[in-house]
Amino acid sequence: MVGLVNAEPPEKLEEYKNVLIFLETRQGKLAKPGLEMISVGSAIAHKVNEELIGVILGNDIDDLVQEAGEYGCDRVIGLKSKELKDFRTIPYSVCMADLIAELKPNIALIPATRNGRDLASRIAVKSKTGVTADCTELDIDPTERILMARRPTYGESTLAEILCKKHRPQMATARPGIFSVPEKVPGRKFQSEIRKTTVKKENLKKEIVSFKPKSTLDLTSSKIIVSGGLGLGKPSGFEMLEKLAAEIDGKVGASRPTVDMGWIGRDHQVGQTGQSVRPDIYFACGISGKAQHIMGMRLSKNIVSINTDPEAEINSISDYIITEDLYKVIPELIEAIKKKKGGAIAPAAAKSA
């Protein structure tokens, strides 16, 4: 039976301090969204002279604990059990809620991945607090130690700032791909602790017999993305973008309308309801630049817009603007890249001969 649980403010807010982050793992490795939490979490914690505490759940986690410290955590706690080898909502949420009750963090941050969203809501209920979901900006008021959690609203046209003044911990999930991954510093000093944990049988509702990872396209790790929009005019336009991406070791992205129309798979979608990316180069081909799309790629280092519309919204954030027919520009660009590659290879081949 599902019941209603009311949030309860603690009697002494001053007892809560430090920033706690959940470090998600995938196939025995620290997942990129969790590493992004280290970046923003450390900035918030150090702004008020507090610690960043990273938490890892799993079985073979000794090396991961060391790695998390080298990425920037001041303290890393590993909860170790064979029952925690794979993500399961109930045991993970119970372990995290128990740890939060013990440590009393002022702030708890979780990446807004599929697992993270599931986990955060359950932890919030168990901790009798709230959670601000899918944040794109996170900061802290250094005087009151209040988390300033900002998330898009009204179709990404406005950022809403949500404050949790009375309840603890202040919880938020952060959209993957928005925050940077910190630099790894081998040999960095930090505190670590690995606890052997017993998971109660009543919390093991399901048994994982085997794990088959879903084949999905991860655009967040790509340094070059070639994205297409309705300006392509037809589904086959993505074949041309695939050729360009192949020549420059990139991946193909897409705007939501092209996905909704079935021109390309949803794994390619960039934007509010797709993936948030920050590549070195982002090609926006035939993309007008609605707020929903811009929110997912505005942090790209270099944005190249190819569009016949000189007034396209995407141009306002672009570093390079090509106002020309993309079916003329892109084939010429592909040929130019091929020629440059050929020119670079020819001298070496001649020398070896």
- Structure confidence by residue, pLDDT tens digits, 34-52: 999 999 999 999 999 999 9
Task: Work out the burial of residue 81: count CB atoms within 10 Å of its CB; fewer than 13 is exposed, 13-18 middle, 19 or more buried.
Answer: middle
Least confident range of 60-69, 92-101, 216-225: 216-225
Per-residue model confidence (pLDDT) at position 86: 85
pLDDT in tens, 137-169: 999 999 999 999 998 776 656 778 999 999 999
Mean pLDDT of 223-238: 95
Residue 280 to residues 136, 225, 299, 332, Cα–Cα distance (Å): 19, 8, 9, 22
Would you say residue 129 has pLDDT above 70? yes
Domains parsed from the chain with CATH numbers = 14-203 (3.40.50.620), 219-352 (3.40.50.1220)
Per-residue model confidence (pLDDT) at position 353: 33
Band (188; pLDDT cuts 50, 70, 90): very high
Would you say residue 190 has pLDDT above 70? yes
pLDDT in tens, 114-126: 899 999 999 999 9
Would you say residue 99 has pLDDT above 80? yes
Would you say residue 201 has pLDDT above 80? no
Band (69; pLDDT cuts 50, 70, 90): very high
Q: Give yes or no for a contact between 300 and 262, defined as CB atoms under 8 angstroms apart.
A: no
Least confident range of 99-103, 145-149, 337-341, 343-347: 343-347
In the numeric block, which tokens belong to residue 335? 């040929």
Per-residue model confidence (pLDDT) at position 272: 77
Band (18; pLDDT cuts 50, 70, 90): very high
Least confident range of 158-167, 212-221, 249-258: 212-221
Band (6; pLDDT cuts 50, 70, 90): confident
Rounding to the nearest 10 degrees, give the CA dihedral for residues 308, 313, 319, 322: 0
Band (22; pLDDT cuts 50, 70, 90): very high
Band (346; pLDDT cuts 50, 70, 90): very low
Mean pLDDT of 306-320: 93
Per-residue model confidence (pLDDT) at position 211: 63
Mean pLDDT of 327-347: 81
Would you say residue 285 has pLDDT above 90? yes
Mean pLDDT of 242-250: 95
Band (336; pLDDT cuts 50, 70, 90): very high
Distance, in Å, from the CA atom of 303 to the CA atom of 283, rounded to the nearest integer, reads 6
Per-residue model confidence (pLDDT) at position 209: 65
Would you say residue 17 has pLDDT above 50? yes
Mean pLDDT of 205-217: 67
